[in-house]
Chain A
């Protein structure tokens, strides 16, 4: 199924089903910001639509602090042929965090992008198996706490 077709099905998913299954939060880092649980809750609500389309949510998440002009990068290992959505929320509603994905050769990856106030998502079908790098950055706002998680199918 293509990513675009998947998006069309999301609307159907919303109409036919409720939100995705809620799980106990599993902080990925002991130094997570206080806002991380609420940011994750927003991402879970957003990701519910994707879950209804067959995407499975990773149990853990990445959270921390974003400073203007200083992107944060995290290594993730993806598998060729799988579809992924990386979703990030920040506690600055006027901001739209920029999510950028780099493939195992370090090249930027074209993504299906979604932005709404305080929340962004990037969807991709992995072309390679290997270590990708996901980057998050504030686009226009001041420093902000962030939370990022991903779903796969």
Chain B
């Protein structure tokens, strides 16, 4: 271990060896893996914290249903709940984290993968009792991956994609609101995630036609298209505060619509 520490201390700021730049084609051909390419909401919220220090408790939602008429809608809401969990962690509110954790397990049960995340739910509760925010962020991501892996095992990629969609729509809703409240242009610029949205949208477009044309997938896809458009800035710049407000509104509309039975 101490050898590793010593080696790290020898790290140096260097220009990396490699091509000086990538062409658009080379960039486009880069591989993508959902579990790595799609960031954890904790990364987004951490970046927001650095520029605006929002009152995260102000972003809580009223408790919603723990059952929904269809599996796609359930999956989307499970993702949104995961984002709520991250928000509660940012607020350092153990009870809220525990409440959200229970709802996550309830929705996972509704999807038939409750057993896979029961242990995670217990860990979330334990870490919340200990105010271990660091571990909670890791546990929330691990829980998401656990559910998504179970979905993949059941060959239900649509649900797996909808979990990510729900998490990011809810995260962008909170991020947009945080930017608006702070009035900080640098907070609004963190919403410049057009390529991430395009990737998430592309995952839905790649689903089999029967699934792709389902009402929930179609509605989420349309929302991705709108949000991607709102993130587009002439000259390749970052969104401003006005756009942040519009992004928040578009995401909030979808989260609210799909969050009710």
- B47: contacting residue among A11, A54, A61, A79, CB under 8 A: A79
A21:B135 contact, CB within 8 angstroms: yes
Chain B at the A interface: SS class? helix
B43 to chain A, nearest CB (A): 5
A122:B138 contact, CB within 8 angstroms: no
A129:B190 contact, CB within 8 angstroms: yes
A100:B9 contact, CB within 8 angstroms: no
- B26: contacting residue among A73, A77, A78, A82, CB under 8 A: A73
B27:A7 contact, CB within 8 angstroms: no
B33:A74 contact, CB within 8 angstroms: yes
| CA of A147 to CA of B29, assembled, Å | 20
User: Provided the pairs A61-B36, A152-B46 are in contact, do residues A135 and B192 lie with their beta carbons within 8 angstroms?
Assistant: no
Tell which of A58, A60, A150 has the most Cβ of chain B within 10 Å. Answer: A60
A49:B21 contact, CB within 8 angstroms: no
B35:A26 contact, CB within 8 angstroms: yes
- A29: contacting residue among B10, B13, B33, B238, CB under 8 A: B33
B134 to chain A, nearest CB (A): 7
Residues of A within 8 A of B33 (CB): 28-29, 60, 62, 74
| CA of A29 to CA of B238, assembled, Å | 32
| CA of A59 to CA of B33, assembled, Å | 13
Does chain A have a CB within 8 A of B2? yes
Does chain B have a CB within 8 A of A137? yes
User: Provided the pairs A26-B149, A58-B40, A111-B16 are in contact, do residues A129 and B189 lie with their beta carbons within 8 angstroms?
Assistant: yes
User: Provided the pairs A58-B141, A129-B238 are in contact, do residues A108 and B21 lie with their beta carbons within 8 angstroms?
Assistant: yes
Residues of B within 8 A of A139 (CB): 17
B171 to chain A, nearest CB (A): 11
User: Which residue of B is nearest A13, CB measured?
Assistant: B5
State which size class the interface on A falls in. 35 or more
- CB within 8 Å: A-B pair count: 196
- B2: contacting residue among A14, A56, A72, A114, CB under 8 A: A14
B26:A106 contact, CB within 8 angstroms: yes
Residues of B within 8 A of A137 (CB): 18
Tell which of B2, B20, B43, B186 has the most Cβ of chain A within 10 Å. Answer: B43
A153:B46 contact, CB within 8 angstroms: yes
Question: In the complex, which residues 65-114 of chain A have their Cβ closer than 8 Å to any Cβ of chain B?
Answer: 71-82, 98-102, 104-114
B20:A26 contact, CB within 8 angstroms: no
A10:B43 contact, CB within 8 angstroms: no
Residues of A within 8 A of B20 (CB): 107-108
User: Which residue of A is nearest B31, CB measured?
Assistant: A74
B36 to chain A, nearest CB (A): 5
A 1-44 to B, binary, CB cutoff 8 A, 1 in contact else 0 = 00110011011011000010101101011000000000000000
B 191-211 to A, binary, CB cutoff 8 A, 1 in contact else 0 = 111111001000000000000
User: Provided the pairs A73-B29, A79-B39 are in contact, do residues A98 and B17 lie with their beta carbons within 8 angstroms?
Assistant: yes
B142 to chain A, nearest CB (A): 5
A113:B9 contact, CB within 8 angstroms: no
A80:B35 contact, CB within 8 angstroms: no
User: Which residue of B is nearest A107, CB measured?
Assistant: B21
B138:A113 contact, CB within 8 angstroms: no
Question: In the complex, which residues 144-166 of chain B have their Cβ closer than 8 Å to any Cβ of chain A?
Answer: 145, 149
| CA of A81 to CA of B137, assembled, Å | 19
User: Which residue of A is nearest B42, CB measured?
Assistant: A56
- A121: contacting residue among B1, B11, B36, CB under 8 A: B11
6 contacts across the A-B interface (CB closer than 8 A) = A26-B35, A60-B33, A74-B37, A104-B195, A129-B193, A130-B194
Given contacts A46-B4, A113-B16, 9 further A-B contacts (CB under 8 A): A14-B5, A74-B32, A75-B30, A100-B19, A102-B27, A106-B26, A112-B14, A113-B13, A152-B43
